[in-house]
Structure 1
Amino acid sequence: MDQRTELTEFLRSRRARLRPEDVGLTAHGGRRRVPGLRREELAQLAGVSAAYYTRLEQGRGQNVSASVLGAIADALRLSGTERDHLTHLARPRARKAGAAARPQRVRPSVQHLMDAMDSVPAYVLGHRMDVIAWNRLACALLGDFPSMPPQQRNIAWQIFLNPASRSLYTEWERKADDVVACLRLYAGCHPDDARLAALVGELSVKSEEFRTLWAAHRVRGKGFGVKELHHPLVGPLTLSYETLVLPADQDQQLITYHAEPGSASAESLRLLASWTLTASDDDAAVPAQPSA
């Protein structure tokens, strides 16, 4: 992906969110051709010249200082994640050639940990939101990962190109927005990832919803929260999820789901886990919804 284009579009999209009155400026000049702050208004807020900011937004601001980026981030009222994304775009760090192309491998101890979590669905996300490891309950809850072709073993692919995801995720639109925001964040750190470019290209061609969300340039990390699911076997589930970055590889994240103790969701998850163990004993797969 073209880093200069990404920087340009990100800054434009952030300017478009703000109105002069939002930041204490008086709007001048009558009707505006485009929404949001003008370049010269943002430059005024950041304490830089309009010419300098224009060069930066056009991808021509070589060697921009951290202090200037900080002032621009303040003026744009960026979140912490957005600030990091801006820094990655404006001041990219040198990375080893082909680093994102090499297959990611999960440490055996991490797989053993997930396998020991009989009542907790768990999986590991790697580059470009690829699912690179999982336990049995994650497959029962989210989809039969082992049976998927490698290119489909990806959260973004599953959300936008697998129709079953719309039935599984009660708040599908929110899930889709979160997935694209995470993928955008990854793209800022790995602009030369050819497989990422291919994934974005495929999703853009095949999903209008993905194209719209991708163009919004929202960025967020996965973090933690609550997901509402509707599983084909056990019905409605309210599950909390946690995201843990693995220390040996910052691009690997362990994702876990759990239910509130004593809740109906906890009982449903327990039932699903028991079916998973029974299926394992019978050397048969649990008939889970094929989504991630």
Structure 2
Amino acid sequence: MSRRARVSPEQAGLPAGGGRRRTPGLRREEVAVLAGVGASWYQWLEQGREISVSPQVLDAVARVLRLSDAERRHLYLLAGLNPPTPEVVPGRKDMCDGLRRLIDTWMPYPAHIMDLYYNCVQYNDAAAIVLGMRPGITQNCLIDFFTDPLYRERSQSWERNARTVVAQFRAACAARPDDEGFREVLAEVSAASEEFTALWAERDIEDQGQVRKELSHPLAGLLVVESTVLKVPARPDLMIVLHTPLDEANTAEKLEWLASPEGRRGAMYPVAG
């Protein structure tokens, strides 16, 4: 009812006029006509009665009421249906600058941003120095995990984490079963790695979370970090991966040194940018 009151007849494409209105916005009957449903049924929907509701009808009502993506998903929840996959609001596409500031502020600890398909969108200097992120690789975190010899050489926990990486990617694929982007990544990594193919055949599923990583850096020695995947509701197409040093092997101090001018001079690869 609150959203119906916010939409004027003119905004809904109805002719102006029609006499004085006791309440602002659209009448129930007008929403029903515009959404292609019965007036009584729509009234029952507003009243929260036990009626059969389809996603198609809810989408039609959301369109008439000019609901945002967040409001549309909330409507699904109110109706007792699973909400649709979140979409990127056009006005939030400029958030990348703010997310770039976030991962740069995370220095001297590694951080990067991935899209839904694990393509690396941005990474900070520490991710280049520690994880070996650089222009010469595929820039897809799943494919590089299995095919980048530099990361494979540095990762002391590779075999333990490989199963988790594959299980988490399967969970992401399962949420979008018809997405061609996932199919393309799967085809490329399957062709490049028999190890991935074997793990994929086990059909394990795991949610994104925290992963312990043990890395052997040529300059600093053993580094023990914990990666955490964060999601921003306004940008559901992106994931932020932050690496936090654990209280082992003086990891925090070593990461600070690697990010210092002295440490950068000895790095094997130039930093990002």
Aligned match of 1:226: 212
Cα 1:162–1:262 shift into 2, 3 Å: closer
The Cα shift of 1:135 comes to 1.0
Aligned match of 1:121: 110
Query: Structure 2 counterpart of 1:148, which letter?
Result: G
Cα 1:95–1:255 shift into 2, 3 Å: closer
Select which of 77, 96, 99 maps to 1:110. Answer: 99
Q: Does 1:178 pair with 2:167?
A: no
Aligned match of 2:268: 287
Alignment of 1:54-69 (within 5 A): none
The Cα shift of 1:161 comes to 1.5
Cα 1:137–1:199 shift into 2, 3 Å: same
Aligned match of 1:255: 241
For 1:255, what is the secondary structure of its paired residue?
strand
The Cα shift of 1:269 comes to 0.9
Cα 1:217–1:115 shift into 2, 3 Å: same
Aligned match of 2:127: 138
Aligned match of 2:143: 157
Distance 2:123 2:204 in 1: 28
- Cα shift readout 1:162-205 (whole Å, capped 9, x = no counterpart): 22232121121122111111110111112222232122112222
Maintained 8 Å contact 2:257/2:263: no
Cα 1:232–1:288 shift into 2, 3 Å: farther
Query: Structure 2 counterpart of 1:217, which letter?
Result: R
For 2:236, what is the secondary structure of its paired residue?
coil
Distance 2:99 2:262 in 1: 20
- Structure 2, gaps ≥5 residues long: 1-80
Maintained 8 Å contact 2:212/2:226: yes
- Structure 1, gaps ≥5 residues long: 1-90, 280-284
Select which of 257, 262, 266 maps to 2:252. Answer: 266
The structure having more radius of gyration, on CA atoms, is: 2
Cα 1:289–1:222 shift into 2, 3 Å: farther
Aligned match of 1:19: none
Would you tell me which structure has more helix in proportion to its own residues?
A: 1
RMSD value, Cα: 3.1
Between the two proteins, the alignment pairs up a number of residues equal to 187
The Cα shift of 1:226 comes to 2.1
Distance 1:182 1:276 in 2: 37
Instruction: Give percent identity, aligned residues only.
Output: 27
